Amino acid sequence: MELDELRTRLERFCRAKYADETVTVDDVSVMPGHAGFAYGFAATRGGRTERWFLRLPPPKVRWEGTADMLRQVSALQAVDGSAVPCCHVRWYGGADDLGWFGSPYFVVEQLDGGDVIAGGKRSTWVLDLPLDQRQQMGRAAMAALAGIHHTDWPSRCSYLGAPVSLERDVTRWDRLVERAAEPQLLAEVPRLRNLLLERLPRQVHVGLFHGDFQFTNLYYSRAGELRAVLDWELCGVGATLNDVGWMATFNDPEALTHHDAIPDGLPDAEALVAMYADVWDGPLTDLAWYRALAAYKFAIITGFNLGLHRSGKRPDPLWERIGTSVPSLQARALQLLSQRDRGADGH
């Protein structure tokens, strides 16, 4: 949708939602990120301006899975009012409310005075903070993650459906392997898939999971205060240690080897796992398996997105850089599964 058309639609939308025909909308812009379907805008009435963030699904896709806006709304509403920092959903609509944007949508407050954390040294403001403050940023992240996992999902997350089984969490990526840019890059995937299925954990804590919990999806003030957990597209109900494995993978230099992959100055994978263990009230069993699963998933996701980029369907040159980590992700997954076989905990 062109920004001029979107501004017109947003103005009509805001006048209805505010019940005020004097509302004007400006500063409509594509928000940073790699989905490309999020927009910032400012609504002004009576001399007061409020800034919002609009999320729409990609065009020409089914409104399910990551493109189901109401899944994200459900998760955000489930943690709203808890100790988990999050953006508040102001307005939303599903398949029965297409008049505004031609698709489901939701609108949350637009945060200011802070930032997410980019990899490498790109977030120089983080490196300017004292070490103890940077350590506290990691502790706050893992405390928020534990808070998500403690959510009363049976009563608050019914829209998300039944829990995803571990077997399904391994096999649901199969369809992406065939569509990867360079199938030979995923040479170890069949072997890893079999190993993961053979070694499914027996004890599983089921709960709400974020699905993409990493520093680039955490919004901090420039003083290092965690203000919101962002980007809930991959949320669901299932094994909560998936999130711990994912966070560890994105701070593990043995898994991600591309340039600027790991944020500088923040706790590494082992420290983050220990921080989570400090606030969780149970054992972190089979964590090496979950870390291997995370590396396996991200190798496949990267191959798939690299294919979308190269085909022109969803151009994003960042995937060329991330793609160089596909071999190391698979190698790290194999190593972690080997550690599990030897009885190591994968920390």
Q: Which domains does the chain have, with CATH numbers?
A: 3-109 (3.30.200.20), 114-341 (3.90.1200.10)
Which tokens is 309 given? 């980029």
Q: For residue 329, count CB atoms less than 10 angstroms from its CB and return exposed for 0-12, middle for 13-18, buried for 19 or more.
A: buried
The DSSP result for 65-109, as a single string, is: GGG-HHHHHHHHHHHTTSSS--PPEEEEE-TT--TTTSS-EEEEE
Beta strands per DSSP E along 247-306: none
Q: How confident is the model at residue 347, as a pLDDT?
A: 53
Q: Tens digit of pLDDT for each residue in 157-203?
A: 999 999 999 999 999 999 999 899 887 899 999 999 999 999 999 99
Q: How confident is the model at residue 342, as a pLDDT?
A: 62
Quick one: DSSP state of residue 111? Answer: P
Q: How confident is the model at residue 182, as a pLDDT?
A: 83
Q: Write the CA distances from 157 to 32, 136, 170, 236, 259, integer angstroms.
A: 28, 30, 22, 9, 38
Q: Write the CA distances from 294 to 16, 94, 231, 311, integer angstroms.
A: 43, 31, 17, 26
Residues of the chain with pLDDT below 70 are: 33-36, 340-347
Total-model pTM: 0.94
Q: Tens digit of pLDDT for each residue in 294-335?
A: 999 999 999 999 999 999 988 889 999 999 999 999 999 999
45 vs 32: CA distance, rounded Å: 26
Q: How confident is the model at residue 1, as a pLDDT?
A: 82
298 vs 304: CA distance, rounded Å: 10
- Say what the alpha-carbon torsion angle 32, 325, 248, 145 is, to the nearest 10 degrees: 30
CB 229 within 8 A of CB 111: no
